[in-house]
Amino acid sequence: MNSPLPADCFLNTILYMHLLKNLKERLKCAGLFLQELFFPAFCEGCGETGSCLCESCLRQKICIRKAQQCHVCKKIILRGLIHSECKSKTSLSGVFIAVDYSKFIENYIGDIKYEFYYKMIDDLIPLFQKAFKENDTFHRVVSNSIFTFVPLHSKRKRWRGFNQSELLAKKLSVVWKVECKGVLARKRKTKSQVGLNRKERLENLKGAFEVKDSQTVRLLNGQSMIIVDDVMTSGGTLEECALVLKRAGVRNVYGLVVARG
């Protein structure tokens, strides 16, 4: 029997890869259809089906931030993002916050993280669009920056199945047509931040992150970056990530979060 020619093998491999890709896409579509059928989205606020956050709850239960605050002293700031006297206390050039913190938003984010309902992230996107629609500083910073996100430890990501900050960053980068790159990694597993005071939180996060590899470090030199995260509490996570990025050569690092607790 004749052995197949190398060209035939090559064509067969291409065909096989194509079929596999096609099958994967079909399974994904079928999966999404079944998910819609058996687990339809319902509003977190009123229970109405259709989306995780209906128009009326968005208006009534969520307060879009009218003014930004300096992330160091937490005072409202009307021009720029940070007071000049606060600059020496932080590695971040500023933090953009989409909505006011509330029990509702805390529960909403909690359900994404602990009920594994990642589809709820989609309904956060309009909040960001509304919050920054007329914010010139935000648009100036975004148009010159690359988006990134707070990484999860690989074990935690496997357990949850997704990283909520990564999904949020990717979706937001599509909205504002900017690049999104995962450049940070967790060096070690940290304790949960829940229940720790500010000092303990900062201590817990020290040395927890690193830049993925030396190739990434070269890419970062002189860039401006925005780290996306869900809720900012003490600010320790964003500070630690910003410190690592700045050491790797990033010029300016900003934060972009849903709310600040």
Residues that bind Zn ion (CB under 5 A): 43, 45-46, 54, 57, 70, 72-73, 83, 86
- Shortest CA distance to 190 belongs to which of 198, 200, 182, 178? 200
CB of 260 to Zn ion, least distance (A): 14
Amino acid, single-letter form, for residue 214: S
CB of 50 to Zn ion, least distance (A): 9
CB of 41 to Zn ion, least distance (A): 11
Separation CA 254–CA 161 (nearest Å): 27
Amino acid, single-letter form, for residue 16: Y
Q: Which residue has the tokens 């869900």?
A: 230
CB of 26 to Zn ion, least distance (A): 33
- Evaluate whether 257 touches 229 at the Cβ level (below 8 Å): yes
Based on CB atoms, which residue is closest to Zn ion, 64 or 217? 64
Instruction: Name residues whose C-beta falls within 8 Å of residue 14's C-beta, 6 or more positions apart in sequence.
Output: none
Based on CB atoms, which residue is closest to Zn ion, 29 or 73? 73
- Evaluate whether 45 touches 54 at the Cβ level (below 8 Å): yes
Based on CB atoms, which residue is closest to Zn ion, 45 or 235? 45
Based on CB atoms, which residue is closest to Zn ion, 21 or 59? 59
Other residues' Cβ atoms within 10 Å of the Cβ of residue 89: 13
Based on CB atoms, which residue is closest to Zn ion, 57 or 120? 57
CB of 180 to Zn ion, least distance (A): 29
Separation CA 231–CA 153 (nearest Å): 18
Write phi, then psi, for 199 (nearest 5 degrees): -65, -45
CB of 83 to Zn ion, least distance (A): 4
Based on CB atoms, which residue is closest to Zn ion, 41 or 250? 41
Tokens of 110: 């909690």
